[in-house]
Amino acid sequence: MNIGYYPGCALHGSSDDYETSVRACLKALDVQLDELDDWLCCGATAAHSINQKLATALPARNLGIAQKMKLDRLFAPCPMCSMELKKANDALQNDEVRAEMEKIVETPLSGSVDVINLIQVFQAVGYDVIAEKATRKLEEFKPACYYGCLLTRPPKTLQFDDFEHPTSMDELLAKLGASPVEWNCKTVCCGGGLTLCDADGVAQMSHRILKNALDSGANCVVVACPMCQVNLDMKQAAAKKLGLAADVPIFYLTDLVGMALGMKPSQLDVDRHFTQTKLTK
Amino acid sequence: MGTSKRDWKTRVETLAHTRLNDCYQCGKCAAGCPRGVSMKLSPTRLMRAAQTGDILEAAESDSIWRCVSCLTCSARCPKSCEVAGVIDAMRQIAIEENILSEDAAKIIAFQKAFLRSVRKNGRTNELEMVADFEIRHFLNRFDLMGALKDATLGPKMLGKKKLHFKLGSPVKDKALVKRIFDKCGVKI
């Protein structure tokens, strides 16, 4: 299966461990990634906080590149990017907006690119196909599947899973032999992009999530977002100061699927996570 | 300035694509807001300020910048108001009118540094962006402790190869990025 690929800044920045993991895992599933030529940043929170037009223009430019490359399906592993791309695609359904955006981003725009997230790539491959290819069961994993904000919100734009109680990640990992726990913080925000500029606020938000995961019997948290990974993993020391009782290993979804497919953690860059990744029983 | 409260209200509605009068002040947005505790004005009160056209007063508070854009408020609104979109609209107006909340100075400085990096490179360059943000924030507020606290993660990030010099290589067509920013009228 061939699919358009928009890595986004995080995966070409300090979250490039996620890109290693995504590429290794999808290669094992015969998914070929065609990266967009000269893609731009999606604008993220900064753009929609400061200039609404820019918040549509930046992702729209990327959709135009996808269109030029004849990629009708575009995969963005970062939920912030995929949400912004999808929101821009929705905005382009309005003729006036589309005409204005074509002038701004200097490329024709059809508003017809199908943007998908990581879980939707796994769904396109098929959970049963993945389970068949798996060479080992993830029996020791009791993950708290963490969806965060932008895999399911805004629900009108994304139309993906249940925005209060999503289960798509839990279902995939259960099929691969893991025992996902029921917990309360599946869609509670980790603090997102305020990591650097409101560190104390983000520590409190991450602490609440990590504590609930432990209290619910999880031995790790699984994410599908580079920003969630940073806040829960890299900044976990701050949550410890607020009373978090133990280390909580944080895995990308592709780490666990990759391990089920027989890959070593080091092939997935798991050894580059901050918090140790040994599981407690 | 001659801009009436009604004009401000219309401006927010246009930017946020929502009808402010739909909000009946039930408080559900505030109840679910993960940042509510740190806001002087809760999302419900920000919605009320938008309804009455008291945008500039709301823009002065740090509350609009404490919002982390998790979209819980918009997703749960029983009247489908774009609460987070209204907050975004207020932030844009605050930037355009140069109304800067003292308490939220660090958050505003970060969002601007982020966009400056994108304007220059087409993508964020984390090292450059963080340096820009920390230096400007330090020069503005003399917040040395804040800058040092952020720097403590540096060595471990180097050890885990989370920082390296290939970080965020720029786009080929940088001129196009600047044209896009200019055509959108971005003020940073």
* pLDDT digit string, tens, across residues A121-143: 999 999 999 999 999 999 999 99
pLDDT-derived band at B165 (thresholds 50, 70, 90) equals low
Cross-chain residue pair A155–B149, CB shorter than 8 Å: no
Min Cα–Cα distance to chain B from A163, Å: 8
* A151 vs A101: CA distance, rounded Å: 25
**pLDDT band for position A52 (50/70/90)?**
very high
Say which CATH number the domain at B19 has.
1.10.1060.10
Pick from A16, A50, A184 the residue to mutate for testing the B interface (most B CBs within 10 Å).
A50
Domain end marker among B50, B74, B96: B96
Q: Give me B84's structure tokens.
A: 């987070």
Q: What's the mean pLDDT when you consider all of chain A?
A: 97
- Which of B59, B22, B20 minimizes the C-alpha distance to B40? B59
The whole-model pTM stands at 0.95
Task: Note down the domain range covering B21.
Answer: 5-96
B87 and B29 within one domain: yes
Do residues B169 and B129 both lie within one domain?
A: yes
Average pLDDT over residues B8-22: 97
User: What is the number of domains present in chain B?
Assistant: 2
**In this structure, are B44 and B62 located in the same domain?**
yes
Residue A102 CB neighbour total at 10 angstroms? 16
Q: For residues A12 and A169, what is the distance between their CA atoms, to the nearest angstrom?
A: 24
Of B124, B149, B172, the CB nearest to A38: B172
Please, are residues A9 and A257 in contact by the beta-carbon 8 Å criterion? no
> Does A54 contact B162 at a Cβ distance shorter than 8 Å?
no
**ipTM for this model:** 0.95
User: With contact defined as beta carbons under 8 Å apart, do A108 and A67 qualify?
Assistant: yes
Taking 70 as the threshold, does the pLDDT of residue B24 lie above it?
Answer: yes
Q: Which of B71, B96, B121 is the last residue of a domain?
A: B96
Query: Given an 8 Å threshold on Cβ–Cβ distance, is A192 in contact with B69?
Result: yes
Handedness of CA B31, B35, B39, B41 (dihedral sign): negative
Q: Quick one: B127 and B172 in the same domain?
A: yes
Q: Are residues B130 and B171 in the same domain?
A: yes
CB-facing half-sphere around the CA of A230: CA atoms within 13 A = 21
Q: Do A13 and B118 touch (CB under 8 A)?
A: no
Q: Are A112 and A76 in contact (CB under 8 A)?
A: no
Is there a single domain that holds both residue B114 and residue B164? Answer: yes
Residues B84 and B152 in one domain: no
Taking a contact as any Cβ pair under 8 Å apart, which residues of chain A between 215 and 244 contact chain B?
A: 234
Give the minimum alpha-carbon distance from B2 to chain A in angstroms, rounded to a whole number. Answer: 23
Residues B22 and B45 placed together within one structural domain of the fold: yes
Q: Which of B132, B184, B186, B188 to mutate to test the interface with A (most CBs of A within 10 A)?
A: B184
B23, B84: one domain: yes
Torsion angle defined by CA atoms of residues B165, B166, B168 and B170, in that order, rounded to the nearest 10 degrees? 110
The residue of chain A nearest to residue B64, with distances taken between CA atoms, is: A49
Which domains can be identified in chain A, with CATH numbers?
Answer: 2-118 (1.20.1050.140), 130-272 (3.40.50.11810)
Q: Which of A13, A53, A54 sits opposite B126 (nearest CB)?
A: A13
Nearest chain B residue to A274 by CA distance is: B160
Residues B89 and B111 in one domain: no
Q: Does A129 touch chain B (CB under 8 A)?
A: no
Read off the pLDDT of residues B101-155 as tens digits, 9 standing for 90 and up: 888 888 999 999 999 999 999 999 888 888 888 888 787 766 666 666 667 777 7
Domain boundary residue, one of B41, B62, B96: B96
Give CA separation, A15 vs A85, A168, A264, B45, in Å: 20, 23, 19, 37
Chain B positions in Cβ-Cβ contact with residue A88 (cut-off 8 Å)? none
